[in-house]
Amino acid sequence: MSIRTSSRLFSSTISRSKPVSIVNGKSKPLKFTDLKTIKLREPIIPTKKNFDVSSEHPLWQFFANGSNTTESTRSFNDMSHGREWSLAELRRKSFEDLHKLWYIVLKERNVLAREAVAVNGPYERSRNAQFDAVDQKLLNTHKRIKEVLLERQVAYERVQTLGDKQQEYLNDFAERYINSSNDDISLFNEKLVRLQYAFFGIQPSLDDYDLKEDINVKFVEGINYIANLKISRYFKQNPEAKESFGELNGVKEELPFLLYDIDTAIQQVKDLRASNESIKLDKIDVLPYLKSTISTFIENEQQ
Amino acid sequence: MSWTHHISRFAVNPIKGKISATKYEATMKRMSLPFQGPSEGLKVPPHERRTQIEKGIVTGDLVYINEGEHKGKVSSVIRYLEESDSYMLNNVSEKTLIPKHMWGPGATSHVFDYPIPIPASHIKLAAKDKDDSGKINYVVADKIAFKEKYYDDRYHQWLPRRFVKFHESIEIPWPEPNSLKDDQYCTIEPIALEKSYELQTIAKPPFPKELLSEFRNPYSHHKKRVFTEVQARRINAPNMPLSMEQKIYLAKQASKPKKVLEPLTEEMKELIGSKMAEHINKIDNPALLGHLEHVSKTKVPDFEKTLKSIEENQTSN
Sign of torsion over alpha carbons A47, A48, A54, A56: positive
Q: What residues of chain B lie within 8 A of the CB of A160, using their CB?
A: 202
pLDDT recorded at residue B35: 58
What is the per-residue pLDDT across B139-175, written as a single tens digit (0 to 9) for each?
999 999 999 999 999 988 899 999 999 999 999 999 9
Chain A, 179-198: which have a CB under 8 Å from a chain B CB? 194, 197-198
Q: How far apart are CA B108 and CA B112, in angstroms?
A: 9
At B307, phi and psi to the nearest 5?
-60, -40
Q: What residues of chain B lie within 8 A of the CB of A80, using their CB?
A: 183, 185-186
> Is residue B23 a contact partner of residue B39, using CB atoms and an 8 Å limit?
no
Sign of torsion over alpha carbons A10, A15, A16, A19: positive
Q: Is the pLDDT of residue B196 over 90?
A: yes
> Taking each helix axis from N to C terminus, what angle separates A217-237 and A185-200, rounded to the nearest 10 degrees?
160
CA torsion angle A79 A81 A87 A91 (round to 10): -70
Q: How far apart are CA A93 and CA B198, in angstroms?
A: 8
DSSP B17: T
Test A149 with B206 for CB contact under 8 angstroms: yes
Q: Is the pLDDT of residue B222 over 90?
A: no
pLDDT recorded at residue A13: 47
Asked if A236 has any chain B CB less than 8 Å from its own CB, the reply is no
Test A116 with B7 for CB contact under 8 angstroms: no
Task: Quote the ipTM score.
Answer: 0.77
Contacts of residue A207, Cβ cutoff 8 Å, sequence gap at least 6: A298
DSSP B3: S
Q: What residues of chain A lie within 8 A of the CB of B206, using their CB?
A: 95, 149, 152-153, 155-156
Asked if A76 has any chain B CB less than 8 Å from its own CB, the reply is no
pLDDT recorded at residue A217: 92
Measure A132 CA to nearest chain B CA, in Å: 6
Q: How far apart are CA B160 and CA B162, in angstroms?
A: 6
Q: How far apart are CA B269 and CA B275, in angstroms?
A: 10
At A79, phi and psi to the nearest 5?
-80, 170
**Residue among B1, B5, B42, B151 with most chain A CBs within 10 A, to mutate:** B5
**Residue among B24, B202, B204, B212 with most chain A CBs within 10 A, to mutate:** B202
What is the per-residue pLDDT across B241-259, written as a single tens digit (0 to 9) for each?
999 999 999 999 999 998 8
Asked if A130 has any chain B CB less than 8 Å from its own CB, the reply is no
Q: How far apart are CA A202 and CA A195, in angstroms?
A: 9
**Can you give the pTM of this predicted structure?**
0.66
> Is residue B41 a contact partner of residue B25, using CB atoms and an 8 Å limit?
yes
- Count Cα atoms within 13 angstroms, Cβ side, for B178: 12
Contacts of residue B274, Cβ cutoff 8 Å, sequence gap at least 6: none
- Write out residues in chain A with pLDDT < 50, as ranges: 1-5, 7-8, 10-15, 17, 19-21
DSSP A157-184: HHHHT-HHHHHHHHHHHHHHHHT--TTT
Q: Which CATH number fits domain B43-171: 3.30.70, 1.10.3470, 2.30.30, 2.60.40?
A: 2.30.30
Q: Which of B193, B199, B215 sits opposite A149 (nearest CB)?
A: B215
CA torsion angle B249 B251 B253 B259 (round to 10): 180
Average pLDDT score over residue span B203-228: 88
> Is residue B117 a contact partner of residue B87, using CB atoms and an 8 Å limit?
yes
Other C-beta atoms closer than 10 Å to the C-beta of B150 total 10
pLDDT recorded at residue A208: 83
Domain map (residue ranges) of chain B: 43-171, 266-316
Point out the least confidently predicted range of A70-79, B74-83, B265-274, B288-297.
A70-79
Domain map (residue ranges) of chain A: 57-160, 163-302
Test A92 with B5 for CB contact under 8 angstroms: no
Q: How far apart are CA B80 and CA B294, in angstroms?
A: 83
